[in-house]
């Protein structure tokens, strides 16, 4: 009998399109390898679909809010069927950039300096605070978004304009800008999968650089690092993964500057599209796409 896998994709976050792409590509690969697959949205029919289809495992292909912030994970816990990737608390902590940064700092993982901003200061006052804390340029970002959605690098002249674009959020983070090399590292289960360096044509590895093939981001693997530094990178990634009690696959985003790794954030639901980094890292390690998916499914079964 074919093993039944239910894939949840789509959703209502700003990353809906990426989630749909992930869901379709994972489904196609599973179907080619003798799995019985059904894709559904995380809507009011979910419980009914699970009850009727009776999947062995649920593959969570959602990205962004409601998909990787603990919300859908709470529903899946109540359903009681093993599901992929991180659980409720790990997902919530990783998605909340302020909480995760506090955990990193407490555990001596280097991360850019930051402060939370509530749109309660004039532009002049805010500039003074930034200059006092760490200076320009700065990165402004929502606290609970993924895929670099609404992330901007700001100098003094464009700060006000970009801040105004984020006013529909209650709070945002204002973070020290770290120049240097963009390196991403992946963990699966309790194992170090590998790393990749990115050289974007754009200002940084933003949403377009991640998902638009026309952005022409250069991918470098293996990463040109001394063995000692590479091991340090992977050790920090595994440490962050374990501190947040993550499961399945995570991808940690770093800046490497002046021989130091700065952890920007950890992603508990990395994409599985043609331009996604985890499948590329995995392939370099000799693990093809279907075997990567099988490892993720196995991890979900073990951790239930």
291 is catalytic: no
**pLDDT at residue 203, rounded to an integer:** 53
Q: What pTM was estimated for this model as a whole?
A: 0.90
First-last CA distance in the chain? 22
The CA-based diameter of the chain, rounded to the nearest angstrom, is 67
**pLDDT at residue 146, rounded to an integer:** 62
Per-residue pLDDT in tens (0 to 9) along the chain, 304 residues: 679 999 999 988 888 998 999 999 999 999 999 999 999 999 989 999 999 999 999 999 999 889 899 999 999 999 999 999 999 999 999 999 999 999 999 999 999 999 999 988 888 999 999 999 999 999 999 888 765 678 999 999 999 999 999 988 889 999 999 999 999 999 999 999 999 999 987 554 444 444 445 557 899 999 999 999 999 999 999 999 999 999 999 999 999 999 999 999 999 999 888 778 999 999 999 999 999 999 999 999 876 5
- Alpha-carbon span 290 to 109, nearest angstrom: 33
Domain span(s) for CATH 3.30.470.20 in the chain: 94-109+179-302
In the set 13, 147, 148, 276, the catalytic residue is 147
CATH architecture group of domain 4-84: 3-Layer(aba) Sandwich (3.40)
Q: Per the structure block, which two tokens stand in for 82? A: 């093993």
251 is catalytic: yes
Q: What CATH code is assigned to 114-176?
A: 3.30.1490.20
- Report angle CA 88, 90, 91 to the nearest 5 degrees: 65
pLDDT in tens, 254-282: 999 999 999 999 999 998 887 789 999 99
Domain span(s) for CATH 3.40.50.20 in the chain: 4-84
**Phi-psi bin for 279: left (phi > 0), alpha (psi -120 to 50), beta?**
alpha
Domain span(s) for CATH 3.30.1490.20 in the chain: 114-176
pLDDT in tens, 149-201: 789 999 999 999 999 999 888 899 999 999 999 999 999 999 999 999 999 87
Name all contacts of 147-152 with Cβ < 8 Å and 24+ positions apart.
Answer: 147/14, 147/15, 147/18, 147/63, 147/64, 147/207, 147/210, 147/211, 147/271, 148/204, 148/205, 148/206, 148/207, 148/209, 148/210, 149/14, 149/15, 149/64, 149/207, 150/14, 151/204, 151/206, 151/207
Q: What CATH code is assigned to 94-109+179-302?
A: 3.30.470.20
In the set 23, 265, 276, 299, the catalytic residue is 265
In the set 253, 262, 282, 299, the catalytic residue is 253
Q: Per the structure block, which two tokens stand in for 45? A: 């029919």
267 is catalytic: yes
- Alpha-carbon span 67 to 63, nearest angstrom: 5
């Amino acid at each position: 009998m074919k093993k039944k896998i239910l894939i949840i994709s789509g959703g209502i976050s700003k990353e809906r399109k990426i989630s749909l792409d992930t869901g379709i590509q994972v489904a196609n690969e599973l179907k080619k390898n003798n799995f019985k697959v059904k894709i559904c949205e995380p809507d009011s029919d979910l419980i009914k679909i699970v009850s009727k289809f009776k999947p062995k495992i649920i593959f969570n292909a959602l990205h962004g809010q409601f998909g990787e912030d603990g919300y859908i994970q709470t529903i899946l816990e109540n359903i009681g069927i093993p599901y992929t990737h991180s659980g409720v608390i790990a997902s919530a902590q990783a998605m909340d950039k302020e909480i995760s940064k506090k955990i990193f700092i407490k555990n001596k993982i280097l991360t850019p300096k930051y402060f939370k901003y509530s749109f309660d200061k004039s532009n002049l006052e805010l500039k003074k605070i930034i200059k006092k804390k760490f200076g320009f340029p700065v990165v402004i970002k929502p606290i609970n978004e993924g895929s670099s959605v609404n992330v901007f690098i700001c100098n003094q002249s464009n700060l006000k304009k970009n801040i105004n674009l984020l006013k529909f959020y209650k709070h945002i983070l204002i973070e020290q800008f770290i120049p240097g090399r963009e390196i991403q590292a992946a963990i699966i289960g309790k194992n170090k999968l590998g790393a990749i360096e990115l050289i974007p044509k754009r200002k940084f590895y933003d949403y377009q650089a991640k998902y638009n093939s026309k952005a022409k981001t250069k991918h470098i693997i293996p990463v040109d690092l001394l063995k000692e530094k590479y091991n340090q990178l992977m050790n920090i990634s595994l440490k962050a993964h374990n501190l947040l009690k993550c499961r399945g696959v995570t991808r940690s985003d770093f800046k490497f500057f002046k021989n130091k790794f700065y952890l920007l954030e950890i992603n508990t639901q990395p994409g599985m599209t043609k331009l996604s980094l985890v499948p590329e890292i995995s392939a370099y390690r000799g693990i093809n796409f279907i075997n990567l998916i099988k490892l993720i499914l196995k991890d979900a079964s073990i951790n239930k």
